[in-house]
A and B are shown apart, each in its own frame.
Chain A
Amino acid sequence: ETGVTQSPTHLIKTRGQQVTLRCSSQSGHNTVSWYQQALGQGPQFIFQYYREEENGRGNFPPRFSGLQFPNYSSELNVNALELDDSALYLCASSFWTGYQETQYFGPGTRLLVL
């Protein structure tokens, strides 16, 4: 039990639609990261938010965007969904102190794009 929760657990969308995934961070954690994990692969870093500002981004197009709220919960938004967006989306929270701290992952949201 990491204290990180995600919703929904599963989601089915059609190509071209938009989706919002939600993450509730572990209490006291000021940093949240989002990852995409395609079937049979390791997680790929999407972006990270620290104190409501984007603090690093992986190789993902602008249609992947995020928000972090004052209570440190966050959202991942994906516009114009493509079939390849089908994956497990993981969020991870940590307490950033200037050094890389341990990230605690949520159970993920499984997104299927048809």
Chain B
Amino acid sequence: AQKVTQAQTEISVVEKEDVTLDCVYETRDTTYYLFWYKQPPSGELVFLIRRNSFDEQNEISGRYSWNFQKSTSSFNFTITASQVVDSAVYFCALSHNNDMRFGAGTRLTVKP
């Protein structure tokens, strides 16, 4: 069975602080994909990143970075120098054969 755990329900930081959102997944499949999505109050899920299970290289995109470690089944997301506009719910998801499972989400609040 596939499962995604986002242990942090809510995180609150002050603008310009760095913040890491944790994601731990469970799967018996060797081929799978991991995603992060951002959901602002409007409700639309905004795609942030997709990684396949064979690519453990960390990725940086502007203020965003992702740390994928198969040894610990984790795919953590770090926002550097957070901004108020980063406030949203962030979802980590795991997909295999079109079955996409989402975590419960982490609500990030960035205060000015």
- Verify A107–B99 contact, CB threshold 8 A: no
Contact residues, A64-114 vs B (CB, 8 A): 88, 90, 92, 99-100, 102-108, 110
- Verify A42–B105 contact, CB threshold 8 A: yes
- Verify A42–B43 contact, CB threshold 8 A: no
Please give the number of chain A residues whose Cβ is less than 8 angstroms from any Cβ of chain B in the complex: 24
Name the contact of A58 in the complex, choosing from B35, B95, B99 (C-beta under 8 A).
Answer: B99
Inter-chain CA distance A24–B104, complex, in Å, is 27
Inter-chain CA distance A76–B47, complex, in Å, is 22
| Chain A residues, CB < 8 A from B99 | 45, 56, 58
Is residue B72 within 8 Å, beta carbon to beta carbon, of the partner chain? no
- Verify A90–B91 contact, CB threshold 8 A: no
> Which residue on chain B has the smallest CB distance to residue A45?
B100
Number of interchain pairs (Cβ within 8 Å): 56
Inter-chain CA distance A56–B99, complex, in Å, is 7
Inter-chain CA distance A110–B50, complex, in Å, is 27
Q: Which residue among A2, A42, A43, A99 has the maximum number of chain B CB atoms within 10 Å of its CB?
A: A42
> Which residue on chain A has the smallest CB distance to residue B50?
A102
Measuring CB to CB, which residues of chain A are less than 8 angstroms from any residue of chain B? 2, 33, 41-45, 48, 55-56, 58, 88, 90, 92, 99-100, 102-108, 110
Known contacts A48-B98, A102-B47, A107-B43; 15 additional CB pairs below 8 A are: A33-B98, A33-B100, A42-B91, A43-B91, A45-B99, A45-B100, A90-B43, A90-B45, A100-B50, A100-B98, A102-B35, A102-B50, A105-B44, A106-B44, A108-B43
